[in-house]
Amino acid sequence: MLLLRLISNLLPILALLSCSLAAEDLYKILGVDKSASDRDIKKAYRTLSRKYHPDKATGDEKKFIEVTEAYESLSDPTSRKIYDQYGHDGLNNHKRGGGAQHHDPFDLFGRFFGGGGHFGGGGGSGVRRGPDLEVQLNIPLRDFYTGGETEFTIVKQLICETCEGSGSADGQVETCGHCGGRGIIIKKHMLAPGIFQQIQMACDHCGGQGKSIKHKCKVCGGSKVVRGPVTLTASIEKGMPKGYRITFESEADEHPDHVAGNLYANIMEETPSLHENYDHRTDGAFFRRKDADLYWNEVLSLREAWMGGWTRNLTHLDGHVVQLSRQRGEVVQPGQVDSISGEGMPNYHEGHVHEHDQDHEEFGKLYVEYTVVLPDQMDSGMEKDFWALFEKWRKKKGIDLLKDSGRPLPVVPPKDEL
């Protein structure tokens, strides 16, 4: 009997424990510790709600709602205390008893970021959209070839976290007594005796906001916003063209009175530098690009260009080696250009790397132009040997370029016998 009574008393506790284990931890949903401050919880909500908002391309409505519900529970001191002591069941009982109110997740999002809780204009609520921003990202040619991700930091306008965008230190915002909350005032100007003109203008007491703040926030000075750095990540796809525009939705300047505009990042090619880290520098870093083709200039000595018998190893952008060579006796003319198929840039087509098929090559071409460097001086012995050798072969198989060109022969002045 004692054992049965003990088991019957443990059953509710076990059921409570199993339910608590089944539901995901609220702190884990927000990615914070149990000891996190209110400010840390707000910061986590701001980041995750923007990430999972359904209006964004990378959004997830289920996670967005989970993040919102977790924030609502942990941002309220009473609900958080109950959750810490009794878990999800205690929190649910508290809600059923009317101790906590449930808000629309989009309304909560709108209070944080402005607008009607949605990106791109707030639907029919008349909320305006803020201006867009443009930045230029300079990345090395290697990243255009291999693809990858690059982080960049911009300084932009952010909603003040201290006052949550209210501009007030104590959260109290009063209706402007000068304009009655309308944000505009009417002034009369006398044009002539008995003739007046009415002019509508923004209230100079509240700046056209219709509200006044008695105790301004010490961080933002009542402006509701501050300037601060934000780090973003741009995904660079293989073969992406220079000047490609990447859109970051609602990442422009923030303000509680409007929805943030978009941030546009223009991807440009960084000029290579000889001072770049030697371990990461390759021949390919100095390739020149035109669409899907690459260009390289290779320097040869007179002996190499005339007699052949040489090999060069070019290190490509991703580290693989492209071999250039000539057999002995193979001549390379100054300015000669060779093309190597499949060693150019990956083909990029409408936002993705074009797949290889019978009609298209997966990569463009690498064009190699040869520059021949002639010696600037010769010692007398070498000069005599080369002259004798050239004269011998010129008389045997050579062509007189002057006669062959058809130009008039130079006139040799007669010698003066005196």
Q: What is the pLDDT of residues 192-229, one digit of tens each?
A: 776 767 778 888 777 677 777 778 888 888 888 999 99
| Higher local confidence (pLDDT), 352 or 346 | 346
- For 119, residues 6+ apart whose C-beta sits below 8 A from its C-beta are 53, 55, 56, 249, 250, 259
Measure the CA–CA gap between 406 and 418, rounded to whole angstroms.
35
**Helix (H), strand (E) at residue 64:** helix 61-75
The separation between CA 88 and the C-alpha centre of its own chain, rounded to angstroms, equals 39
pLDDT score for 312: 92
Can you tell me the distance from the alpha carbon of 216 to that of 303, in angstroms, rounded to the nearest whole number?
80
| Over residues 59-68, mean pLDDT | 82
Cα–Cα distance, 86 to 93 (Å, whole number): 10
Distance between CA 360 and CA 354 in Å, rounded?
8
Model confidence at 9: pLDDT above 70: no
State the average pLDDT for the chain: 78
Place of tokens 């301004």: 216
Spatial contact of 105 and 64, defined as CB atoms under 8 Å apart: yes
Highest mean pLDDT among 21-35, 228-242, 250-264: 228-242
C-alpha angle 135/139/142, rounded to 5°?
Answer: 160
Res 11 pLDDT > 60: no
The DSSP bridge partners found for residue 268 are 138
Q: Which residues pair with 155 in a beta bridge?
A: 229
- pLDDT digit string, tens, across residues 348-364: 875 444 444 444 558 99
The mean per-residue pLDDT over the stretch 156-182 comes to 80
Secondary structure (3-state) at 395 = helix
Q: How confident is the model at residue 27 (pLDDT cuts 50, 70, 90)?
A: confident
Confidence of residue 36 (pLDDT cuts 50, 70, 90): confident
Question: How far apart (Å, rounded) are the C-alpha atoms in residues 19 and 89?
Answer: 7
Structure tokens at 381: 């012995």
pLDDT score of 212: 76
Helix (H, G, I), strand (E, B) or coil at 285: helix
Residue type present at position 143: D
**More confident site: 318 or 11:** 318
The count of other CB atoms within 10 Å of the CB of residue 178 is 14
Q: Quote the pLDDT of residue 105.
A: 58
> What does the pLDDT look like over 262-293, one tens digit per residue?
999 999 999 887 766 555 667 888 899 999 99
CB 298 within 8 A of CB 322: no
Question: Contact at 8 Å (CB) between 340 and 322?
Answer: yes
- Beta-sheet strands, E only, within 237-331: 244-248, 263-269, 288-290, 293-301, 310-315, 321-326
How many whole angstroms from its chain centre is CA 267? Answer: 8
Read off the pLDDT of residues 381-403 as tens digits, 9 standing for 90 and up: 888 888 888 888 877 777 777 77
Distances (CA, A) of 222 to 161, 168, 212, 216, 225: 12, 6, 9, 5, 8
Write down the pLDDT at residue 193.
Answer: 76
Q: What is the tens place of the pLDDT at every residue in 84-114? A: 877 777 777 777 665 555 555 556 665 555 4
Question: What single-letter amino acid sits at 1?
Answer: M
Mean pLDDT, to the nearest integer, of 220-246?
90
Q: Which of 164-178, 210-224, 247-261 has the lowest mean pLDDT?
A: 164-178
Region of poorest pLDDT, from 26-40, 55-69, 178-192: 178-192
Length of the chain: 418
Q: Which secondary structure element, helix H or strand E, spans residue 84, and what is its range?
A: helix 77-96
Instruction: Supply the pLDDT for residue 103.
Output: 56
Domains of the chain (ranges; CATH) run 15-113 (1.10.287.110), 274-411 (2.60.260.20)
